[in-house]
Chain A
Amino acid sequence: MVHIAMLTGFVLIAIGIYGALTNRNILRMIVAFTVANTGVNIVLVSVGYMMGRTAPILDAAVPVAEAANRIIDPVPQALVLTAIVIGLGVTALMLAYAYRLYDCRGSLDISRFRDLKW
């Protein structure tokens, strides 16, 4: 189960990067990157998952004393939350860029923006 999740994550990353590197359209590139980001997040979560354990919420069902043995590692989940937020921020910035790039050139083709080089 863990391995399937992790594998899925890596496949998504690969698909995302492949998409980002092959699509000329800026919006498609952004979408591809979100796919890749999702993949990364799945990998993150799957790394922290441990078979047969419960969610890391300390309440009546999981007393503090037993927590160390019964819950899964909460850190990756916390990281994922942060990573998602950051990913969102970056995606938003990229979209804002896409908007202004289109405003500027009337095109969303990445190969049109090559006037800076060498």
Chain B
Amino acid sequence: MVSAIHILSTGLGAAFLLGLLPEAWRGRAHLVTLAALALMSAIALSWVLAFAFDGQQMVDVFTAGVSPPFAINLRLGMAEAALSLTVCLSGLLSALYLKTSLITQGRRAMAVLLIAVMAFCGIILTRDIFNLFVFVELSVVSVGGLVLLSDDNRALGAGFKYLIVSQVVSILMLLGVIFLYHAGGTLNIDTLTAANAAGIGTGGLAFFLLLMAVVAEAKPVPANGWALDIYQAAHPAFSALFSAAAGTAALFAVDKVLVMGGPTWPPVVAGIGLFSFVAANVLGLSQTHDRRLLGYSSIAQIGLVLGVVGLKDVVGEHYLFIAGGILVAHAVAKAGMFWLSGLVAERKLSAWAVLRKNPILLFAFATFVALLVGLPPFPGFYAKWELIHALMAQDRVVLVALILLGALLEATYLMRWFGYALKRGADLESVQFEVRKVAVVLTAALGGWGLGYVWGELSGHANLLHSMALLFALGFVVLDGLPAWVKNTVAIAGMSAFFYVSYPGYDPLQLIFASIILLGGAAIFVAGYHERGRRLGFYPSAMLMYAGLAMLIVADTTFQFFAAWEVLTVGSYFLILRGKESEPHALSYIVFSLGGAFALMAGFALASGGVSEFAIQGLSDVAAEAAPWVFVLLAVGFMTKTAAIGLHIWLPGAHAEAETDVSPMVSGILLKAGLFGLFTLLMTMGKTQMYGVELTHVLMWIGAISALLGNLMAVFQEDAKRLLAYSSIGQMGYALFGLAMMNHLGWLMALMFVINHYVYKSMLFLSVGGVAKRTGTKLMYRMGGLITLMPLSFVAVLIGIIAMSGVPPLSGFGGRWIFYNAIMTAEYKLPILIIFLSGPIAFLYLFRLIHTIFLGQLKDEHRRITEAPFWIVVPQMLFVAFLLGFAVVPGLALRHVDAYIAQFFVGGGLSWDGLTITSPFGYWSPVSIMIVTGAIFAVLLAWLVFLNHKAQKVKQFNIVFAAERPHRPETTHFAWNFYAPYRKAFGFLLKPYATWFWDGVAGAFHGVAETARRFYTGDGQVYAFHMLGFVLVVYLIAMGM
């Protein structure tokens, strides 16, 4: 093994060597720089590998031939090696990226870069506090030099502000070092710790000053104005290094120094870190400059790690896993983002639209955002899971809430940015990027995936990147260059095969969900044959969602469940984002979903008492005092997905603005994830009381009110897809209501809704989408009379609305029948009344849907349109056939589930003898109903045909029109504001209280951000004053504690 000291000596030596080279050899000088950085990385890497695979023990490297405390020593363990590697690699890639600038600036700039990297490594490696000071000062000087690489003149000002602040910091640090030496008689960290120097005389204050100096290097809010200015103005490749390497080094320095101070200081550092995390994320909300935004995000992430450093004792054995996970994810992603920003010409967030045309860069951008947000399968995801559990194990509920709040805010602005890049800004011609820079970015992105794999292996849970379903979905990233029909076929075949293979392992409940997800998903994919070209990005997103869903239903542990939940959330977010106008809706979807996911994570952590590997079945044994809170958290998490009222505002836009075949996926299938979660929750936890309130009773109310308001809002939509979207809210309300009844038939009814809702909502979304494709509008009043032109779509809608309204003889009636039987034994009667009211309201919007589109007056501009595209009609016909079949033999699907549910409740099941289904209260014979109705219908139709077979088809305007002549189709088609009187009666219920509330919340955060960021005045002296004030305030708080 090469000694670790050569990481430093290589950098230093190469820097001197550069000084000796002739000024003209710039290209060669650059090669020397790269070679040195590569060698440094190689040394670090060899150590990382040795620690990981060869069981290498931590080593001390002695200098000057004397052991400490008489000489400086370096220490190299796994953490040091890994962080040095991070630093050196980001240096190497930045140097590569900076090639042009460095060659223009000459060998001196290269030397400065080498010194910077060397200094950061030194900060990590050294065990001597004065040596630490030297490396910090070296990094200050080199950073000061590298800031000047920027083309932006303002970087000068930023660099000088940095120097002012670092002067103040260095004064603090030197004073700290000397008085610590005075107290402990040594400069060696380990000896000082052993001597408890911080506890002797002035040692405490000295330690505080030293600690504040290293903490200041981690750029805590609010003493970090200088750092933001640097991020904003410096060359992006330098910012990458500054964020990834300097941040890493500073954090490790804090970790090292902190051990000297005893138990007083870790909580202080944790407080500073978490405050920075939340505050920087709030402030980040109102940023419009990409690099400054990255700066805020950078500060937030480093703040989070700082918090973890402070919580070292709390998180215990997982410390390195957690802190390291967040840190490397941050380093890779932030460096990658800064490198990306170097490819973007303008500094507006929407200017990142130039990346849109380049799949590689878009993939990288998505990877980095996912890394930062902590989505699976990246390290941050595993780390956050462990962190939350470790904190929960110690009952640090407030910290959990703070961390999750901060993470949600960060996700908000990052996802918003991603949405801007994909959807806003001018649709530019594809720009040619330098291959070298793209390669650097791609390396970082792939590095992120590699780290994801490593962290998965380390996690002690199942590595997500070993999951077949996920790998299959990720395979579509590679296949994305193929034509859409090929990928479509692969997707359908893959999902069917997956179902076939998994089939024996499912229990009846899983089987129902799996059929909907895998077979149902494949059925919707049939519509995908309609798309021409390659349809870039669609298949990876869709398959990611399906993979998540498939993993969800077979999850055994809370970790698997949560990971699957996040995977499906991410996939569906990308899917929804594809719609033309869907950018704001996709954002609100992902924010609500992540919020819900965080509630789930907190709930799981609370339930398991902080044990990170916890069987879902264990939810049934949660301690009594925690149980109600677990129930509430989980229920809220699941209800964000089912869009229960109050948490529903994301749904209408997300479902309505999605693409034609995406709407059925996200409505018919995705919503079922929430229901599956609620099933799981109620199956395991059952009835739970909080302060004497029965929580399932509350759920009943929420379900009933969702059903009512969802239906009511659907009635007043002019946009056909929005109508269907609101109706989903109502339908999910029904299902929730059924579940919350906590009796056998209630659950059966919920399952019936699961199946039915999938079928008819998929079918209706496809029909309406097909119509919208042909007519070019989704507004119903602009359509009309399409029945003769699009008969198959009409039939699909007709069957769909009959099934959905619950009119016999179709399968919707089965749901209603089970509902009535279920409420016979329900404990609570009042919420049932709301359901009674909402039932008939469905007729209103369903009739409106079919009437205003297909009946009434055909518009002149639509006279030449034809039936919806073939491949969009095909799945609709499949659904029609299924609905008719399911109406006659519901027992095929339901009787097994009925038997399965019986294990949870005593009695109340159905009996399935012959053709008649019997409950304790009534009976129902689907076949008889179908035959009787069909026979009467046929006889009467024959009678009418006999009388009326000569009926003559007349033209459109040939109607009896009370002494007037119809003027135009537009004025004759009664469609707009169809239920005006109803609005007069019920309008008061439709005030968008939920929207107002959430707008208020969002507005409050943005307002705070807008006001609070004015704290950073831009004046270097003010920044120095902030630093002094920060130190003082922290001291006062720490002393007061």
Q: Say if the two chains contact directly (CB < 8 Å).
A: yes
- Mark A residues whose CB is within 8 Å of B: 13, 17, 20-22, 24, 26, 29, 33, 36-37, 40, 43-44, 47, 75-76, 79, 82-83, 86, 89-90, 93-94, 97-98, 100-101, 104, 110-111, 113-118
Task: Indicate if B1016 sits at the interface (CB-CB under 8 A).
Answer: yes
Closest to B1015 in A: A118
Choose the segment among B52-60, B138-146, B266-274, B936-944 that binds chain A (4+ C-beta atoms closer than 8 Å). Answer: B138-146
30 contacts between A and B (CB under 8 A): A20-B164, A21-B1028, A24-B1021, A37-B167, A40-B171, A40-B174, A43-B178, A44-B174, A47-B179, A79-B177, A79-B181, A83-B133, A89-B141, A90-B141, A93-B141, A93-B163, A97-B144, A97-B160, A97-B163, A100-B156, A101-B160, A104-B153, A104-B156, A113-B157, A114-B1018, A114-B1019, A116-B157, A116-B158, A117-B225, A118-B1018
The residues of B that contact A47 with a CB separation of less than 8 Å are 178-179, 181-182
Dominant secondary structure of chain B at its interface with chain A: helix
In the A-B complex, the 6 residue pairs with the smallest Cβ-Cβ separation, listed nearest first, are A117-B1018, A113-B157, A114-B1018, A116-B229, A86-B137, A118-B1013
Q: Which residues of B contact A113 (CB under 8 A)?
A: 154, 156-157, 160-161, 1018, 1020
Residues of A within 8 A of B137 (CB): 86, 89-90
B181 vs chain A, min Cβ distance (A): 7
Bitwise, B162-189 to A at CB < 8 A (1) or not (0) is 0110111011001101110110000100
Task: Flag if B1018 contacts A115 (CB, 8 Å).
Answer: yes
Residues of B within 8 A of A29 (CB): 164, 1021
Cβ–Cβ contact A36 & B167, under 8 A: yes
Interface centre among A20, A43, A90, A97 (most CB of B within 10 A): A97
Chain B residues contacting A75 (CB-CB under 8 Å) are 181, 187
Indicate if the CB atoms of B1016 and A118 lie closer than 8 Å: yes
B1017 at the A interface (CB under 8 A): yes
Evaluate contact between A86 and B168: CB separation under 8 angstroms. Answer: no
The minimal Cβ–Cβ distance linking A31 to chain B, given in whole angstroms, is 12
- The distance in angstroms between the C-alpha atoms of A26 and B167, with both chains bound, is 14
**Interfacial chain A residues near B1024, Cβ < 8 Å:** 20-21
Q: A47-B179, A110-B1021 are in contact. Are A116 and B232 (CB under 8 A)?
A: yes
Return the CB mask of B408-420 against A: 1 if under 8 Å, else 0: 0000000000000
Judge if B921 is at the interface, Cβ distance under 8 Å. Answer: no
Contact between A94 and B160, CB atoms less than 8 A apart: yes
Asked whether A93 and B156 contact (CB < 8 A) given A47-B178, A117-B1017, the answer is no
On chain A, the residues within 8 Å of B156 by CB distance are: 97, 100-101, 104, 113
How many angstroms between the C-alpha atoms of A33 and B163 in the bound complex? 11
Q: Which residues of B contact A24 (CB under 8 A)?
A: 1021
| Residues 299-317 of B contacting A (Cβ, < 8 Å) | none
Give Cα A76 to B134, complex, Å: 14
Shortest distance from the beta carbon of B548 to any chain A beta carbon, whole Å: 39
Dominant SS among interface residues on chain A: helix
A76 near B178: Cβ-Cβ < 8 Å: yes
> Which B-chain residue is minimally distant from A90 (CB atoms)?
B141
**With an 8 A cutoff between CB atoms, is B1014 at the interface?**
yes
Report B-chain residues with C-beta under 8 Å of the C-beta of A43.
175, 178
Q: Which one of A21, A110, A115, A117 has the greatest number of beta carbons of chain B within 10 Å?
A: A117
Bound-complex Cα distance A37 to B148 (A): 25
Tell me the smallest distance from the CB of B81 to a CB of chain A, in Å: 27
With beta carbons under 8 angstroms apart, the residue of B138, B157, B175 that contacts A101 is: B157
Q: Please name all residues of chain A whose beta carbon is closer than 8 Å to the beta carbon of B177 when the two chains form the complex.
A: 79
Please give, as numbers and ranges, the residues of chain A lying within 8 Å of B1018 by CB-CB distance: 113-118
When distances are taken between beta carbons in the complex, the residues of chain B under 8 Å from A33 are 164, 167
State whether B157 touches A90 (Cβ < 8 A).
no
Known: A83-B133, A116-B233. 20 other contacts (CB 8 A): A20-B167, A20-B168, A21-B1021, A22-B1021, A29-B1021, A47-B178, A47-B179, A75-B181, A79-B177, A86-B170, A90-B163, A90-B166, A100-B148, A104-B156, A111-B1021, A113-B161, A113-B1020, A116-B158, A116-B228, A118-B1013
Instruction: Enumerate chain B residues within 8 angstroms of A36, measured Cβ to Cβ.
Output: 167, 171
Contact B1014 A118 (CB under 8 A): yes
CB distance from B299 to the nearest CB of A (A): 14
**Given the complex, which residues of A lie within 8 Å of B140, measured CB to CB?**
90
B1025 within 8 A of A: yes
By beta carbon, the residue of chain A nearest B131 is: A82
**Complex contacts, A94 vs chain B, CB 8 Å:** 160, 163, 167
Residue contact A26 to B160, C-beta cutoff 8 Å:
yes
| B159 interface residue (CB < 8 Å to A) | yes
A29 to B163, CA, bound (A): 11
Q: Does B130 contact A (CB under 8 A)?
A: yes
Are A79 and B130 in contact (CB-based, < 8 A)? yes
- Asked if A79 and B163 sit within 8 Å, CB to CB, the answer is no
Chain B residues within 8 Å of A40, by CB: 171, 174-175
Which residues of A are found within 8 Å of B167, using beta-carbon distances?
A: 20, 33, 36-37, 90, 94
Q: Which of B141, B145, B157 has the most CB of A within 10 A?
A: B157
Measured CB to CB, the closest approach of chain B to A87, in angstroms, equals 8
Q: Would A82 and B163 count as touching, CB distance under 8 A?
A: no
Partner of A97 from B134, B159, B168, B179 at Cβ < 8 Å: B159
In the complex, chain A residues whose CB is within 8 Å of the CB of B187 = 75
Assess whether B154 is in contact with A115, with CB atoms less than 8 Å apart.
yes
User: Chain B contacts of A21 at CB under 8 A?
Assistant: 1021, 1024-1025, 1028
When distances are taken between beta carbons in the complex, the residues of chain B under 8 Å from A116 are 154, 157-158, 228-229, 232-233, 1018
Which residue of chain A is the closest to B182 with respect to CB atoms? A47
Neighbour of A117 across the interface among B148, B181, B1016, CB < 8 A? B1016
Shortest Cβ gap from B189 to chain A (Å): 15
Question: Closest approach, in angstroms, between the C-beta of B383 and any C-beta of chain A?
Answer: 31
Proximity string of chain B (839-855) to chain A, C-beta cutoff 8 Å, 1 when within and 0 when not: 00000000000000000
Q: Tell me, rounded to whole Å, the shortest Cβ–Cβ distance linking B25 to chain A.
A: 25
A86 cross-chain contacts in B, Cβ below 8 A? 134, 137-138, 141, 170
CB of B718 to closest CB in A, whole Å: 42
- Residue from the list A83, A101, A110 in contact with B1019, Cβ < 8 A: A110
Asked whether, in the complex, the Cβ of A37 is within 8 Å of the Cβ of B171, the reply is: yes
A111 to chain B, nearest CB (A): 6
A-chain residues with CB within 8 Å of residue B157 when the two chains form the complex: 101, 113-116
* Whole-angstrom distance between the Cβ of A99 and the nearest chain B Cβ: 10
Smallest Cβ distance from B137 to chain A, in angstroms?
5
Contact pattern, B 183-207, Cβ under 8 Å of A = 1, otherwise 0: 0000100000000000000000000
Q: Are B1021 and A20 in contact (CB under 8 A)?
A: yes
* A117 CA / B232 CA spacing, docked (Å): 9
Centre residue among A29, A47, A101, A113 by max chain B CB count within 10 A = A113
- B181 neighbours in A (Cβ, 8 Å): 47, 75-76, 79
The residues of A that contact B148 with a CB separation of less than 8 Å are 100
Contacts of A104 in B (CB 8 A): 153, 156
Q: How far is the CB of B852 from chain A (nearest CB, A)?
A: 50
Query: Which of B148, B166, B1020 gathers most chain A CB within 10 Å?
Result: B1020
Q: Which residues of chain B are within 8 angstroms of A82 by Cβ–Cβ distance?
A: 130, 134
Question: B133 — which chain A residues lie within 8 A by C-beta?
Answer: 83
Closest to A29 in B: B164
Q: How many angstroms from the CA of A13 to the CA of B174 in the assembled complex? A: 12
**CB-defined contacts of A79 to chain B, threshold 8 Å:** 130, 177-178, 181
A17 vs B160: C-alpha distance when bound (angstroms): 16
Q: How far is the CB of A26 from chain B (nearest CB, A)?
A: 7
Q: Which residues of A contact B153 (CB under 8 A)?
A: 104
Q: How far, in angstroms, from A43 to B167 measured CA to CA in the complex?
A: 16
A26: B residues at CB distance < 8 A: 160
Min CB–CB distance B195 → chain A (angstroms)? 15
Q: Which B residues are CB-close (under 8 A) to A114?
A: 157, 1017-1019
Q: Are B144 and A93 in contact (CB under 8 A)?
A: yes
The answer for the CA separation of A6 and B1025 in the assembled complex, in Å, is 24
A96–B1017 alpha-carbon span in the complex (Å): 24
Question: A69 CB to closest chain B CB, in angstroms?
Answer: 15
Q: Which chain A residues lie closer than 8 Å to B154 at the CB level?
A: 113, 115-116
A93 to B148, CA, bound (A): 11
